[in-house]
Structure 1
Amino acid sequence: MSRPAGNTRLKAARMAAGYNSQQALADAITKAAPKLGIRGLAVGVRQVRRWESATPPWPQPDVHRVLTHLLGQSMEDLGFTPPWGVERRQPETTAGHSSHRRLSGTRLASVPAQSATATQPASIGSDFEAITRSHRHLYWSVAPATLHPAVMEHARLGCALLPETANPTRRILAAALAESYLLAGRIEFFDLRQPDQASDTLLRALQAAGEADDSLLGSAVLAHMAFIPGWAGDRDAAVERMVAARAYARREDASSELWAWLDAVEAECETRCGNSRTALQLISHAEDTLAAGSERPTPVWMDWFSPVRLAAFKGNTQLKAGHYPQARESLGQVLNDLPPTSDKQRTVILGDLAAVEAADNRPEEACRYATQALDQLAITWYATGMDRVREVRRTLTPWQNEQCVRDLDDRLYDWGTTVSALQR
């Protein structure tokens, strides 16, 4: 018998904001109130538990103010129903209008709760899931700026259908919706370098995973959310989200591949925050986890990780740690082992190999790898790969009068590459 889902919207927003327990949110509300000019307000864990129940009571005005301040969403978006009722959002009639709203920074609609009656057939879940699966496959070859609008419109369709379904179809639909939002968030963060928009989209993915009661999807979403502060150098926020991701993974006994990937994500965050030794320890633990294996299957949607990808994480960490011979060996092996469909990852590996050669005072080799990365980017755009090339060019400043660096500049700043980069 499945347990009641409760107010999954508030749970998702709490976890995304870094409050890993109900007590942590209660303490944060009590602490934030005086800063907002509210005196004498104290909230206990029992109250937060009531808010996260299936029928959350509408908070008092002062609590309302602090709660929306901390979590950055309206009360309706947090799963509360006001005593005076709630108006239905008007649907967006054209794709152009919805695109304008998205690009102008308007917050995405929350994942809706279940309605009183189900009007969609049982097949709607598998039908919606089939399109989500196709988008997952298309990600590896379709230009991100082309695929992203299609994924977002598909997610909006899922939000419209979700209130019209009942379990078990609802759980199937919600899980596919969570995966769609996760894919959109991945595109926004890794391909388009829009971390703020990715944060908002990933929060919707977490809400949908909560509606599906899919802890493994929730773990994957939270780990992706850790990348955002991790890449910005905010270690505390990244670690908090990784703690939450591991807690979710334990609920369904995750596969060895998922556990190893969580180590790899945390390792990259630690590397970005300057803690290479800790990162290498996490990579070593991930290698041991993969070697041990497990009987649990890896979710079909987790197609972004493999032993080769773990070696890529390792090579980057070795590079940042200054272990250049080891990084050269690891990354060179990855380049040989990458499957033909991993063109996006190939640009990152080529960029890291270029960085190794630049750090080892070999500018000609660095320029050769960087040029290969640019050749691949001309075929398959990947903002993270371009970031790697630009980082390498900055390190080549001592050799900027060398012919190889001038040739790289001609390639890096030709008409097509410059316009393409600025467009994105």
Structure 2
Amino acid sequence: MEGNASLISAMDESGLKQAELAEAVNDFLRSRGYDGTVSDRTVRNWLTGKTRWPHPRQREALEAVFGCTAEALGFSPPAARRLSTEPEPSVRRRNFFSAATGTAVAVVAPVMNSRPTSVGTSDVIRLRSGLDGLMALDASRGGHEGLERSALAGAEEALDKVKQAASQRIRQRLYAVAANYTATAAWSATDARQLDRAQSFLDRALFLAGMAKDPVVELRIWNSYAILAHQRDTFTDAVDAGNAAQATAIARRDPFYGSLAHARTAVGHATIGDRQAAIRSLGHAQEGLGKAVVEEPRPSWVSFYGVAELAAITAIVRDRIGDPAESEAASHQALAMIPKTFRRNRALATGRLALAQLHQREVERACLTASSAFELMSGNPIPGRMRSLLGDYYRDLITLAPDAPVAREWIDRHRSEWSRA
């Protein structure tokens, strides 16, 4: 028997597992005053094609969850009923989603008026989807005040719904969403070099992650703590934060996340001058990424990490432990793979390449490379973290080649571009 490819695709796109879809359908049924009787087995029958045309209430719930008709989800009525079957009115789906967002109250069954509106899986999915747009904005432009405000608004909306959650499981998911939004605000503040604000956001996010009992967002926060520690020049704290990321349940279970934690720790070791520990951590990061199942669905915040980002981190580590030639090679490798949509990451990798070239006394080539970092961010303000990196380049340039004409030319341009904050 053939499987239902349309439903499988819809679940993959929304990030729903079988149990989560069952819960979302049951949430909808309960909101209409019916019993939620859909189980994992029910969903499995839909996916395998064993059930080709679900019960009318279940079809309505599926349409509400995915926002499309049952037919679009791969279901088809028995041949004898096809001619008489009419599509479910789309207004029902609009009513359901309006109720979920607090803009209206669904009016179908009178029993609904006697039940308080509860928040379920579909609400969590809707809130969580907003994070994807913020991550795309960060990848293109970097951290800025508008991104931070949007992230904090998302966190507030998630927390406002906790008291209306249909179950403890939904409450935990809402806390996880709020933690992710708050961590996004923290990351934006870190990238913009608003370090005190970033610290307060991370402290809040870690509390929310604990309420959520979510190891993935916990690892995300420790990863951000490590980056923030570097910005604050508290390098032993960066190592400790990397170790805390390694200790999370998800890092121990999934080699992909373990690789990210080891890579972040490697930067900390390199910065405090522990060469052997840095190289060892890089080795663990490369080994973990080699074992990881890359195609496995993961949240959008970690989409930056992969072979390209590990190469960029390797460039940082190698430069800091005194291997500029290896750093340059790793930077070229990173730039060959970082997607063009990740403009900020490409600009940072370009700045690192310029530093590696400068540390090999290739002043003219380094200045040309550093200039291209400005071009990559053309049309947008330069995030604070990138300005800090270019400031490092500036200081090393006037130290190593203060009298070179190309250095003086670059410094003049550096001063004019610096105002793009």
Tell me if TM exceeds 0.5.
yes
Assess if the C-alpha contact under 8 Å between 1:222 and 1:242 holds in 2.
yes
Deviations for 1:231-271, whole angstroms, at most 9, x for unmatched residues?
43434433433333222235x85322110000011111222
Deviations for 1:91-113, whole angstroms, at most 9, x for unmatched residues?
xxxxxxxxxxxxxxxxxxxxxxx
CA drift of 1:309 comes to 0.4
Assess if the C-alpha contact under 8 Å between 2:311 and 2:334 holds in 1.
yes
Change beyond 3 A, Cα 1:118–1:222: farther
Deviations for 1:246-300, whole angstroms, at most 9, x for unmatched residues?
22235x8532211000001111122222223321221111111222335994632
Greater shift, 282-291 or 225-234, is seen at 225-234
CA distance in 1, matches of 2:335, 2:314: 13
Assess if the C-alpha contact under 8 Å between 1:258 and 1:298 holds in 2.
no
CA distance in 2, matches of 1:206, 1:119: 29
Deviations for 1:205-225, whole angstroms, at most 9, x for unmatched residues?
222222222112112212321
Give the alignment of 1:215-230 within 5 angstroms: 215-230=215-230
Give the alignment of 1:335-346 within 5 angstroms: 335-346=335-346
CA distance in 1, matches of 2:171, 2:116: 9
Give the alignment of 1:350-361 within 5 angstroms: 350-361=350-361
CA drift of 1:119 comes to 4.8
Assess if the C-alpha contact under 8 Å between 1:174 and 1:208 holds in 2.
yes
What residue is the counterpart of 2:23 in the other structure? none
Change beyond 3 A, Cα 1:295–1:388: closer
CA distance in 1, matches of 2:136, 2:374: 24
CA drift of 1:303 comes to 1.4
Deviations for 1:384-411, whole angstroms, at most 9, x for unmatched residues?
2222221111111143332211221221
Assess if the C-alpha contact under 8 Å between 1:377 and 1:385 holds in 2.
no
Which runs of 4 or more aligned residues in structure 1 lie more than 4 Å from their structure 2 counterparts after TM superposition?
none
Q: Which structure has the larger Rg? A: 2
CA distance in 1, matches of 2:395, 2:296: 43
Change beyond 3 A, Cα 1:187–1:121: same
Identity over the aligned pairs, expressed in percent? 21
Greater shift, 252-261 or 355-364, is seen at 252-261
What residue is the counterpart of 1:288 in the other structure? 287
Assess if the C-alpha contact under 8 Å between 1:227 and 1:269 holds in 2.
no
Aligned length: 301
- Structure number with the bigger relative contact order (C-alpha 8 A, sep ≥ 6) is 1
Aligned alpha-carbon RMSD (Å):
2.4
Give unpaired runs (5+ residues) of structure 2: 1-114
CA distance in 2, matches of 1:356, 1:236: 24
What residue is the counterpart of 1:371 in the other structure? 371
The one-letter amino acid of 1:135's match is L
CA distance in 2, matches of 1:131, 1:118: 25
Assess if the C-alpha contact under 8 Å between 2:256 and 2:291 holds in 1.
no
Change beyond 3 A, Cα 1:125–1:179: same
Counterpart among 407, 410, 421 of residue 409 in structure 2: 407
CA distance in 2, matches of 1:143, 1:295: 25
CA distance in 2, matches of 1:118, 1:286: 49
Greater shift, 228-237 or 124-133, is seen at 228-237
TM-score by length of 1: 0.65
CA distance in 2, matches of 1:170, 1:118: 16
Give the alignment of 1:29-108 within 5 angstroms: none
What residue is the counterpart of 2:119 in the other structure? 121
CA distance in 2, matches of 1:296, 1:208: 28
CA distance in 2, matches of 1:294, 1:419: 43
Assess if the C-alpha contact under 8 Å between 1:400 and 1:406 holds in 2.
yes
CA distance in 1, matches of 2:172, 2:410: 51
Whether 1:347 aligns to 2:364 is no
What residue is the counterpart of 1:39 in the other structure? none
The one-letter amino acid of 1:313's match is I
